[in-house]
Structure 1
Amino acid sequence: MTDLQQTTTNLPELLASKVETLWAFWKVATADGWYLYAEQGDEVLHLGAFNNLGHLAVQQVRFLEDRKITVMMPLSTAVFHAWLAAPTQHPAPRFIGQLGSHWSGYGVKPLEENNNQVEVIYAADLRHEWMGVFSEHEAFAIIEQHYDRRRNRCLIC
């Protein structure tokens, strides 16, 4: 297991956790930052894209402290394990997909397959809001900030 302060490679690295947990955490370096994944049994989650290892560490702690308030995207277990088994033959799963549902959540779509740019669309009931085009780590930060503002204003929560 590696420490966040150690040099990173473009191969998956198993991260240690400060607390006892059944979750395994993986980080991988990308062209402009890092991805963070969590895995337990048949469940695999993409916990975000980061350009700062401190933010990656904060996301891991946030996930461990309260999963319900953590921005995360479900991943295909088969795709994730194929990548772990042969990381030089398969690309790391990107921060693209659907957070929440299509009726209430965030859609993150790649603009071009060979480009790190993604389009983010927020949906709430029948209303859709185009949030913009960002790099993956910018998109994650924008989504997390938007989600936290909404959650903090929620009278039901």
Structure 2
Amino acid sequence: MHKSEMTLNINGEDRTIYARYADTLLYVLRAELGLTGAKPGCLNGDCGACTIDIDGDSMKSCLMLAVEAVDKKVTTVEGLKNAPIQSQFIEKFAFQCGYCTPGFIMNCNSLIQKYPNADDTIIKDWLESNICRCTGYQEIKEAITSVLSSPHKNL
């Protein structure tokens, strides 16, 4: 099992790791870097529990090899640092068991950044990429809407 040295920019910090070319980014984040916010769910890109941000786009880290993240900016839920969507998830009770919450927060944060004037159709489309079996999506939608309507949404 040959491992290669790679430098990844994770949450604004360059981190040197040793990984196989076949290692997923999800595996490296959790096992090599101790960042456990991205969760293993389906491991085939359906559930969204492992969603992170790559260069401003939400990405399911189970579908990306770690080597593909070299020279990219990777942000995990641990790196958000008090993004407005985090406080609104708490305010609107937009979580149940919490397992899928980090993936939803990352996806919602990307939505807010890309579509600051998102309407219900865009929000619904984005929410379809993540699965939660514990709750309806109404509270999550309310958290997004609250951030989008806030005059301080980009703080």
Q: Tell me the TM-score normalised to structure 1 length.
A: 0.29
More helix by percentage: 2
More strand by percentage: 1
Which of structures 1 and 2 has the larger relative contact order (alpha carbons within 8 angstroms, sep 6+)? 2
Q: Tell me the TM-score normalised to structure 2 length.
A: 0.29
